[in-house]
Amino acid sequence: MNLEIIKAIKGLLDIPQKIVIIPHKNPDGDAIGSTLGLWHFLKGKDQDATIIVPNDFPKFLKWMPGSEEIVNFEKDPSVAKSLINNASVIFTLDFNHLGRIGQLQPLLESSSAAFVMIDHHQEPDDYAKIMYSDVGMSSTCEMVFNVIEGLGELESITPDLAISLYTGIMTDTGSFKYSSTTSRTHLVVAKLIEKGAKNTEAHNKVYDTNTPSRLHLLGCALKNMVILEEYHTAFITLSQDELDTYNYKKGDTEGFVNYGLTLEGIVFAVIFIENREEGIIKISFRSEGDFSVNEFARAHFNGGGHTNAAGGRSDVSIEETISLFKSLLPQYKDDLNA
Ligand code: 5GP
Ligand code: MN
């Protein structure tokens, strides 16, 4: 990785700092894994570091070492505010613009800390003093590994640090299957296993902890799936009433969107999930091949992400959102047929 970036990070860490590490809202495996990985590293260097999440994260990530020390801004806003106000360095991980951290945005905008961005999303904003942005990376966790390696600190990777990074690489690559998975990704993962990451345990704890109600919710989602063969598209809807019926808990819908892509011939899969409390429809987009869901989400649903995985939102009803979505497809017919 770029030597200038390593030099700049080294410069910051050569003296004791008050460090805050922040991932995006609704943090996923890569967001939690990368922040915890960096946090373990900084603690090992005797830095004063705290992770602040904009809101809660799923139970299937709460086994990760150190996760119990994460400050949740929604639960403890005053603690989070004072940490941010006193921070000399703020690492922002796994997101590309401050709009991705919800209510934390104004606090960061008024902070005078030195910002370090580590991220692999497309079209990053340039709010950070030190910017390590690479859309070619499988995950932010792989990038945190690169930083540690660049600093010449591979020796300080403990089993807790290793399992944090392993888990995020695993979730962001769909267990090493997405096209973002490179030979380098596998080399990094091999190194992490050598350093004590219990790989089988990570898979079991993330993927084999279903509840009956979650599987029933999945059944409901699959029943609701609509296939639009003409556009090589499949979409799923879940209303708030359906979520309530199946006792929805944060993280329960993770991965549902991918089922559309398992159908032969489908290259574009979408899930629309109603969130009555926030008054929005949260949308996840996935694609196979060249169709850019990042561009689609950006252009129509106030979102973004990567070429093959992106998210967005809609402020109108689920029915209106679906009609809008369907009305957009004809203009993409050629791209979806490619
Ligand atoms: P997911 O669909 O799993 O929530 O997110 C897929 C990818 O898109 C992730 O990399 C995530 O960070 C990004 N993403 C999800 N929602 C949004 C959004 O509302 N805006 C932007 N810019 N990116 C999003
Ligand atoms: Mn990521």
ipTM at complex level = 0.95
Q: 120 CA to middle of ligand 2, Å?
A: 7
Q: How far is the CA of 195 from the centre of ligand 1 (A)?
A: 30
Query: How far apart are the C-alpha atoms of 139 and 31, rounded to whole Å?
Result: 9
Query: What is the CATH architecture assignment of 3-207?
Result: Alpha-Beta Complex (3.90)
Burial 263-295, CB ≥16 within 10 A → b, else e: eeebbbbbbbbbeeeeebbbbbbbbeeebbbbb
As a whole number of angstroms, the distance between CA 292 and CA 273 comes to 21
Total-model pTM = 0.92
Q: How far is the CA of 73 from the centre of ligand 2 (A)?
A: 20
Of all protein residues, the one whose alpha carbon is nearest to atom 24 of ligand 1 is 311
Point out the ligand nearest to the CA of residue 119.
2
Q: What is the CATH number of domain 212-337?
A: 3.10.310.30
Candidate of 284, 301, 314 to mutate for ligand 1, largest count of ligand atoms within 8 Å of Cβ = 284
Tens-level pLDDT at each residue, the chain (338 residues): 899 999 999 999 999 999 999 999 999 999 999 999 999 999 999 999 999 999 999 999 999 999 999 999 999 999 999 999 999 999 999 999 999 999 999 999 999 999 999 999 999 999 999 999 999 999 999 999 999 999 999 999 999 999 999 999 999 999 999 999 999 999 999 999 999 999 999 999 999 999 999 999 999 999 999 999 999 999 999 999 999 999 999 999 999 999 999 999 999 999 999 999 999 999 999 999 999 999 999 999 999 999 999 999 999 999 999 999 999 999 999 999 86
In the chain, where the domains are located: 3-207, 212-337
Structure tokens that stand for 329 in this block: 């497809």
